[in-house]
């Protein structure tokens, strides 16, 4: 297997909720991420899926050290960066970048496209004007944009083109790891496949590693090698993408998969499929035991007690004792 590049070990991120104007005190905690462990190897794309509020972006930010962790360890390129301060982080910032969902976010409306792409280069490298221009042209070319785009303004671009600019910016410092936080969710369906193909090509050409965050498993199936499924701050299932999609073990993954092609829950129920009922609970007051139990059709008494540990099966990790008992997995070779 390829070398390990980035790793989260037992990471939790809690946000304190404070009350009282004069003497603010902590009255509750948003448990956004709870004991999450993830590995990303060189050249690998790991998908991270789950409903809104399940803690995906916070996990991505923790991996990039854009967010402090409450407990646990963050490693990058063999170094423990959990407690690195701004100055130390500066040295590795260029090696790990992020692309956000909203293409607007990566385009300052008052900056021409060429300047937007040049910005990270200006921060990290000392280049002559001619060299800068050449590098910007090469980056635009890599993301499938003509060099004439350098002189355009963001409002003159389509959503898909703006997202390509976001990707060019992320590539500017020649990173090894890119966190892609729902990079295609805001795009028109017809454009989504093009941007996914671009990301796939770039990964192969440059040997990039991705943490690809998405709501559902559709895009993840296209781009990723492995996938981790999050529910209310915890990873509930993790494995090879093909295995997880062909034979999801956790009831939440099963429900998530069934909701992919069926946007009409009434029709889905009529066809006897289980769909996700109700809302994701609040991470301020997670349900006892397995956080998914109030929405799970298979739940039994023990599911209401202790949160299940993520147990390692030969080719999968899953946090559901019932799924483990009934798992019919092929024997690992
Ligand atoms: N800075 C913060 N302060 C307090 N709570 C926060 C903060 N950032 C995130 N949260 C909370 O943490 C939880 C997880 O948020 P996060 O943005 O990681 O979810 P997500 O899975 O990325 O959701 P989405 O799919 O909507 O982007 C949410 O309940 C959110 O409200
Ligand atoms: Mg998010």
What's residue 266's pLDDT? Answer: 55
Q: What confidence score (pLDDT) does residue 70 get?
A: 97
pLDDT digit string (tens) for 97-107?
A: 999 887 676 67
Tokens of 86: 């701004």
Q: Is residue 257 part of a domain?
A: no
Query: What pLDDT score was predicted for residue 106?
Result: 67
CA of residue 55 to ligand 1 center, whole Å:
6
Angle at 250 between CA 67 and CA 299, to 5 degrees: 110
**What pairs with residue 212 in β-bridges?**
47, 180
Mean pLDDT along residues 157-170: 93
Question: Does residue 119 lie within any of the structural domains?
Answer: no
Predicted confidence band of residue 308 (pLDDT cuts 50, 70, 90)? very high
**Minimum-distance ligand 1 atom for the alpha carbon of 215:** 25
Give buried/exposed letters for 57-81 (b at 16+ CB in 10 A, else e). Answer: bbbbbbbbbebebbebebbbeeeeb
- Ligand 1 centre to CA of 314 (Å) is 32
**Looking at residue 237, which CATH number applies to its domain?**
3.40.50.300
Assess if residue 118 is contained within a domain. no
Q: Which tokens in the block code for residue 239?
A: 């494995």
The yes-or-no verdict on residue 80 having pLDDT over 60 is yes
> Residue whose CA is closest, atom 26 of ligand 1?
52
CA of 132 to the centre of ligand 2 (A): 33
Secondary structure string (H, E, C) spanning the chain: CCCEEEEEEEEEEEEEEEECCCCCEEEEEEEEEEEEEEEEECCCEEEEECCCCCCHHHHHHHHCCCCCCCEEEEEECCEECCCCCHHHHHHHHCCEEEECCCHHHHCCCCCCHHHHHHHHHHHHCCCCHHHHHHHHHHHHHHCCCCHHHHHCCHHHCCHHHHHHHHHHHHHCCCCCEEEEECCCCCCCHHHHHHHHHHHHHHHHHHCCEEEEEECCHHHHHHHCCEEEEEECCEEEEEEEHHHHHHCCCCHHHHHHHHCCCCCCHHHHHHCCCCCCCCCCCCCCCCCCCCCCHHHCCCCCHHHHCCCCCCEEECCEEECCHHHHHHCCCCCCC
Task: Answer whether 56 contacts ligand 1 (Cβ < 6 A).
Answer: yes
| pLDDT at residue 45 is higher than 90 | yes
C-alpha–C-alpha distance, residues 189 and 74, integer Å? 35
* 70 closest CA partner among 10, 17, 6: 10
Q: How far is the CA of 267 from the centre of ligand 1 (A)?
A: 31
Q: Is residue 320 part of a domain?
A: no
Is 39 part of any domain? yes
Is 317 contained in some domain? no
| Domain-located, residue 262 | no
**Of the candidate ranges 36-40, 207-211, 260-264, the one whose mean pLDDT is the lowest:** 260-264
In a domain, 270, yes or no: no
Cβ atoms within 10 A of the Cβ of 100, count? 20
Count how many domains the chain has.
Answer: 1
Residue nearest atom 3 in ligand 1 by C-alpha distance: 15
Whole domain around residue 83: which residue ranges? 4-95+175-252
Please write the tens of the pLDDT for every residue from 251-301: 999 988 887 544 455 555 555 555 677 778 888 888 999 999 999 988 999
Rounded mean pLDDT, 134-141: 96
């Amino acid at each position: 297997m390829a070398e390990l590049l980035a790793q989260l070990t037992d990471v939790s991120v809690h946000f304190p909720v404070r009350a009282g104007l004069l003497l603010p005190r902590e009255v509750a905690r948003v448990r956004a991420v709870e004991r999450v462990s993830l590995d990303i190897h060189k050249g690998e794309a790991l998908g991270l899926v789950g409903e809104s509020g399940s803690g995906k972006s916070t996990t991505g930010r923790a991996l990039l050290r854009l967010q402090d962790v409450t407990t646990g360890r963050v490693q990058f390129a063999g170094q423990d960066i959990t407690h690195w301060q701004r100055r130390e982080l500066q040295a590795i910032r260029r090696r790990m970048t992020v692309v956000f969902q909203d293409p607007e976010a990566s385009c300052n409306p008052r900056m021409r496209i060429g300047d937007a792409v040049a910005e990270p280069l200006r921060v990290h490298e000392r280049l002559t004007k001619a060299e800068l221009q050449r590098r910007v042209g090469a980056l635009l070319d890599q993301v499938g944009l003509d060099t004439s785009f350098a002189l355009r303004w963001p409002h003159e671009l389509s959503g898909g083109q703006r997202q390509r600019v976001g990707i060019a910016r992320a590539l500017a410092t020649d990173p090894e790891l890119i966190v892609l936080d729902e990079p295609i969710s805001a795009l028109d369906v017809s454009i989504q496949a093009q941007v996914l193909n671009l990301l796939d090509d770039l990964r192969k050409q440059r040997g990039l590693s991705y943490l690809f965050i998405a709501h559902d498993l559709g895009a993840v199936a296209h781009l990723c090698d492995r996938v981790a499924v999050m529910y209310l701050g915890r990873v509930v299932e993790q494995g090879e993408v093909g295995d997880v999609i062909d034979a999801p073990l956790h009831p939440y993954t099963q429900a998530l998969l069934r909701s992919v092609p069926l946007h009409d829950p009434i029709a889905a129920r009529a066809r006897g499929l289980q769909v996700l009922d109700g809302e994701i609970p609040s991470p301020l007051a997670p349900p006892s035991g397995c956080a998914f139990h109030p929405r799970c059709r298979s739940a039994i008494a023990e599911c209401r007690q202790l949160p299940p540990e993520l147990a390692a099966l030969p080719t999968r990790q899953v946090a559901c004792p019932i799924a483990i008992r009934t798992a019919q997995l092929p024997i690992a070779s």
